[in-house]
Structure 1
Amino acid sequence: MPIEVTNCSDIAAEDLCAALNLAFSDYVVPLQMDVSAFKDFQVQRGFSAEHSFVARSGNEIAAFWLASAPLKDYGNRCYTLSTGTVPAYRRKGLIKTLFHMVSNACQADGASGLQHEVITTNSGAVAVYEAMGFRRARELLVYKVPAELHSVSVADGFEIRPLPVYDLPAHIEVFEDVQATPQNSRAAIGSQPETTKIMGAFQQDGALIGWGAIYQGGAVAQIAVRKDVRKQGVGTALVGGLARAVDTELLSFMNVDAEATTLTAFLTALGGEEVLRQYEMRLQF
């Protein structure tokens, strides 16, 4: 049966979810996502049906490339949410075909390029993307941290309490050492106000000195402490507040920049373990 390539404007979330689960069923990190979680995944990562494409054989999705619209905060690049080919259709060049379709759609909308993350040990995928013109921009780490912090008392001089997303500080160096990846961006955090919890650390005079955001499943999107008050227990108190906010026993810190040594040392001190490395890969049109 011939392969038909279309964008995702008429593709149901249920069908995309099923294809994604099948494509990643035998990967290093097997994936099984229900439709509700997949819809959250789409919203959080900025899914755009017009910039995303599938290859279909009849009614069956054989491969997909899911992407966002151009993102101003990321050099006007489009972010790849996920790509994959179901096992029965691999080695047929479908991802390369979808790459050209996605690239054309993104360029037509004024995008400067594409970016995404790839597990470093998936050498085959890394080679394929490099052949397309992607280059490694940075290494991103995933940490698992035990949330044994529920009873940790907050040091004198500040308190931890919920922080509305609209009160998050601007992107300023006094708080942030590196830029978060799109899946943990301000837009991602604000996209799911019902389930994403944001906690702030406040001095007694009301000044914000740190904050953190966590998704319902226990993945910490961002954590930031003002540089002049670091190593005073603010970060530890924030992690405890985040753990309590979603009632989890294990926190995941996703896409931690390997060069953010202050953060990696902090996570290690909390008993965190590095469980995965990814490359952030970028393509310039």
Structure 2
Amino acid sequence: MEAAYTFSFLKEQNIPDLYDTFLAAFADYVVPIKMTREEFAIKFKREGVEPTFCAGVFHNHKLVGFILTGLGEWQGKPTAYNAGTGVLPAHRGNRLTQRLYEFLLPKLRESGIEQCLLEVIDQNQVAIKAYEAVGFETTRTLDCFRSPKQNLLLTGEEPKDITIRKTMRPNWEAYAEFCDIGPSWQNTKHAFRKSPDKKVTLEAYFEENLLVGYVAFFPKTGSIAQLGVLQNYRNIGVATALLREVVGQTEAPALMATNIDTTCRIMLEFFERSHFNRILSQYEMLLRLY
């Protein structure tokens, strides 16, 4: 006999149980996830998670599965971002991911959401098939990199006439011209701004007044949200000079660059030359609701 499950939207008082279920659901993941309660709260802020739009599945009044839902805009359309789907091991095999979406989608449509977005590790074929069954389609492949700071290769002469300065007012409109391809959801300017974690933006200037590069990162974790250099000033050491500054200002023992679009060859090659290690690849998937 199939176990009886109930579905409901979560409330603030569910967050402590949600944290425990999150850790238990991802303990045997392709890449096991460990996260403090503080880091969990930061994830909520950065990714725009709205508890009342998070779907939960319960068995005997215990939370056994969930979809964390972030709300925002993606490519000009109101979007629901899947910040994490998890099901406890004992309850897998019951189509709970699909059933959670069947429960969630009507509310998203009623709220004017036009599409759903997520990322999934390319090795997680079970999850990929579940999302495809819901109607998600792969839009691009994203690579994730990491390297201990001492292993990075950031040698070479400092680029001439380039100075690097910290800014308290990031010029996101200008930065958009420095990147060939847009960032993933959690690396957008909106996510960077929302994060309560300490954040730093450095700018590179040519001859003191021409902005030619920037990097936005989190010094506590070493996570690089965005890095870009104006096209005519590439391959002269600007990105390397920016990364050297990131290393010097980062408290964490390693740097991370997540969700780099695999069609952006110049960025992939830069991270590889700098001795970053590719740790995993993900598929970005999109479900259009209209």
Report the TM range for the smaller structure's normalisation.
Answer: over 0.9
Q: 1:51 Cα shift? A: 1.8
Partner of 1:85: 87
Residue 189 of structure 2, aligned match among 186, 189, 198:
186
Structure 1 stretches of 4+ moved >4 Å: 149-153
Structure-2 change in CA distance of 1:193 and 1:21 (3 Å)? closer
Q: Summarize deviations over 1:163-190 as a string: whole Å, max 9, x none.
A: 22x3323166631111101111101111
Partner of 2:68: 66
Structure-2 change in CA distance of 1:79 and 1:151 (3 Å)? closer
Residue 97 of structure 1, aligned match among 99, 103, 109:
99
Partner of 2:123: 121
Q: 1:44 Cα shift? A: 0.6
Q: Summarize deviations over 1:210-259 as a string: whole Å, max 9, x none.
A: 11111221111110111110111110011111122223332111000000
Q: Within 2, Cα distance between the matches of 1:150 and 1:271? A: 6
Segments of structure 2 that go 5 or more residues without pairing to the other structure are: none
Partner of 2:172: 169
Is 1:242 the counterpart of 2:255 in the alignment? no
Q: Within 2, Cα distance between the matches of 1:54 and 1:244? A: 42
TM (norm. structure 2) is: 0.91
Q: What pairs with 1:1-285 in structure 2 (closer than 5 Å)?
A: 2-73=4-75, 75-148=77-150, 154-164=158-168, 166-170=169-173, 174-192=177-195, 194-215=197-218, 216-285=220-289
Structure 1 stretch displaced more, 229-238 or 199-208: 199-208
Q: Percent identity?
A: 24
Aligned residues: 284
SS in 1 for 2:48: coil
Q: Within 1, Cα distance between the matches of 2:5 and 2:172? A: 48
Structure-2 change in CA distance of 1:14 and 1:150 (3 Å)? farther
Contact 1:13-1:39 within 8 A present in 2 as well: no
Cα-Cα RMSD: 2.1
SS in 1 for 2:67: strand
Contact 1:213-1:242 within 8 A present in 2 as well: no
Contact 2:5-2:58 within 8 A present in 1 as well: yes
Q: 1:74 Cα shift? A: 5.3
Contact 1:243-1:249 within 8 A present in 2 as well: no
Q: Within 2, Cα distance between the matches of 1:163 and 1:150? A: 26
SS in 1 for 2:144: strand
SS in 2 for 1:280: strand
Q: Within 2, Cα distance between the matches of 1:16 and 1:228? A: 48
TM (norm. structure 1) is: 0.92
SS in 2 for 1:174: helix
Contact 2:48-2:71 within 8 A present in 1 as well: yes
Q: 1:76 Cα shift? A: 2.3
